[in-house]
Amino acid sequence: MTVDQITEETIKILIDRFYHKVRGDAELGPVFAEGVGETDAEWEPHLKRMYDFWSSVMLASGKYQGNPMKKHKDLPPFKEELFDRWLELFEQTVREVHSGEVVERYITVSNRIAESLKLGLYFRPTTSLI
């Protein structure tokens, strides 16, 4: 059953389902295992941070106090293309949890976040000879 509103509880459901998929994914699982850990205890702080992050983004709760760019820059290097896989799993999970315009809102926001992170992590301006 999907819902057409965002609450703290639906955020928790979404994040738990999503990261369950991520941990079992052949491409993303190893990256997250290296960056977060492999045990539930190691994942607990990450999940809590993600509940707060998405609550701040989607509900303007102000719960998240952190720097996502720095967190991603501190991770072991990973391929830029993994953002596409992350977005694919995220959209799939959003559609399992939500309906209506909430789905489109999450998809729009997650794509903007991914683009911002990709720019910060991978964009290297070329120098002009002019």
Q: Give domain status of residue 91, yes or no.
A: yes
Q: Give domain status of residue 103, yes or no.
A: yes
Q: Give domain status of residue 3, yes or no.
A: no
Q: Give domain status of residue 111, yes or no.
A: yes
Q: What is residue 125's predicted lDDT score, i.e. its pLDDT?
A: 75
Q: Give domain status of residue 79, yes or no.
A: yes
Q: Give domain status of residue 56, yes or no.
A: yes
CA distances from 39 to 7, 27, 33, 48, 127 (A): 27, 18, 9, 15, 44
Q: Residue 77 pLDDT more than 90? A: no
Q: What is the pLDDT of residues 89-98, one digit of tens each?
A: 999 999 999 9
Global model pTM greater than 0.85: yes
* Structural domains in the chain (count): 1
Boundaries of domain holding 101: 8-122
Three-class DSSP category at 55: helix
CATH number, domain containing residue 115: 1.10.490.10
Q: Give domain status of residue 59, yes or no.
A: yes
Q: Return the DSSP state at 127.
A: P
Q: What is the pLDDT of residues 52-62, one digit of tens each?
A: 999 999 999 99
Q: Give domain status of residue 128, yes or no.
A: no
The rounded distance, in Å, linking the Cα atoms of 50 and 32 is 14
